[in-house]
Structures are given as structure tokens and as C-alpha cells.
Amino acid sequence: MTDPKWKQFTDFLVSLGSERVAHTQGTYLAHLVAVYKLMEGHGCTQELCRAGMFHSIYGTQQFQDFKLPLEKRADVQALIGERAERLGYLNCAMYRPSFDAIVEQAEGPYRFTDRITREEVVLDRADFDDLCRVHLFDWLEQVPRSRYGWGYRRAAYRKMAERLGGEALATYDVVFANEPAGAAAERA
């Protein structure tokens, strides 16, 4: 069931011009909506779907074509909720090598680097797993169209899927079962 605030989310994103920003052979808005729908379709909570929809609102290490100023974080928090916004921010701010290095860590605390502030982020297991979920579903939604290719951070994404198990692992397996035959050569 779609979030009762769905129209507010899409209106907000349209007001920012997200439908005019190119992203993975479509628009940025289309990608955000698709991440939300993918997560929703695989049983993620409303809070996580919201985080998924706003997963790159401040720009990420790889996606810099759209960046809402950090001074607007309170506006996003008011719209989607504090925890959902925090997970979205952390997805934007994570320094991916430091994040990938701890994906297999069984117990917390989980420590990685905020690439924006250069500070250490410390999460408990629940928050870390939810951030992995947002990050993984973002990639699963776009990998078939991404310029980075099927091999981009392949091992890290697989480890996230295995860590989360259930729907996350099943979705990973379905998406990667559709990998084109020639894509194996590009794996990194």
C-alpha cells in the first residue's frame, strides 16, 4: 500500500526539478520512485521506503548531478521523518570503501566515514542493516541501466544481500540472473 504522503513526496521532488535531471537512462525522479516501489514490493517498512525514495537527495559519492543543500535537511526530516531522512543522508554521505569494509562485520558498533564531514559514523546493527537495505535496493533498481556496469562493487553488494538474507538476497539473485552474458568481463 502506497504511503499516504506519497503525493507530498512527489510534489516536493518535482518542485526541486528532479524530473529534469538525467539518471540511468531516465530521470532522477523516475529512479527515486522506482527505488521506493521496489522496496515496497519486497516488504520494506514505510520508513525504509521513504529513506529509499530520498536515498540520494544530497548527492552521493558517485551521483552529483543533483544535490539538495544540507541546510534543507530539516525540511526533508519534516516531510519523511527523522530516521528515514538520517538513513537517506547516510547513504549520501557514506565513503563507500569504509562502508564496504565493514559489511561482513557480525556485531556492532559499525563504523564508517562520512565523506562530507570526514567524521566517523557509528551505527548499531539495526541502523546499519537498514542502511545496507537502502543502499542495496538503490543499486538493484538501477544496475541494468547503470554506466558503472554489473561489476561495480559487486562483492560488496553481494555481501549486503547475504547479510540481509530473505527478500534482499532473493531480489539480488533475480536481478543478477538477468546479467547479460558479456557483462562478466567487466566485473571488478
- Note the pLDDT of residue 187: 45
From first CA to last CA, the distance across the chain in angstroms is 38
What is the torsion angle, in degrees rounded to the nearest 10, for the CA atoms of residue 87, residue 121, residue 172 and residue 38? 10
* C-alpha separations of 181 from 14, 147, 178, 187 in Å: 37, 17, 9, 12
User: Which DSSP letter does residue 94 get?
Assistant: B
User: Which DSSP letter does residue 63 get?
Assistant: -
Please list, residue by residue across 114-134, b when 16 or more beta carbons sit within 10 angstroms of its beta carbon and e when fewer do: bbeeeeebebeeebbbbbbbb
The one-digit pLDDT tens for each residue of the chain (188 residues) are 678 999 999 999 999 988 887 788 789 899 999 999 999 999 999 999 999 999 999 988 887 677 889 999 999 999 999 999 999 999 999 999 999 999 999 999 999 999 999 999 999 999 999 999 999 999 999 999 888 899 999 999 999 999 999 999 999 999 999 998 877 545 44
Residue with the three cell numbers 564496504: 100
Could you tell me which of 44, 40, 76, 45 has the C-alpha nearest to residue 58?
Answer: 76
pTM: 0.94
Q: Which helix (H) or strand (E) holds 137?
A: helix 125-142
Read off the pLDDT of residues 64-115 as tens digits, 9 standing for 90 and up: 677 889 999 999 999 999 999 999 999 999 999 999 999 999 999 999 999 9
What the block records as the C-alpha cell of 188 is: 571488478
What the block records as the C-alpha cell of 125 is: 546493527
The answer to whether the beta carbons of residues 60 and 139 sit under 8 Å apart is no
The answer to whether the beta carbons of residues 23 and 31 sit under 8 Å apart is yes
- Percent of residues in the chain assigned helix, strand, coil, to nearest 5: 60, 5, 30
- Note the pLDDT of residue 2: 75
User: Which DSSP letter does residue 5 get?
Assistant: T
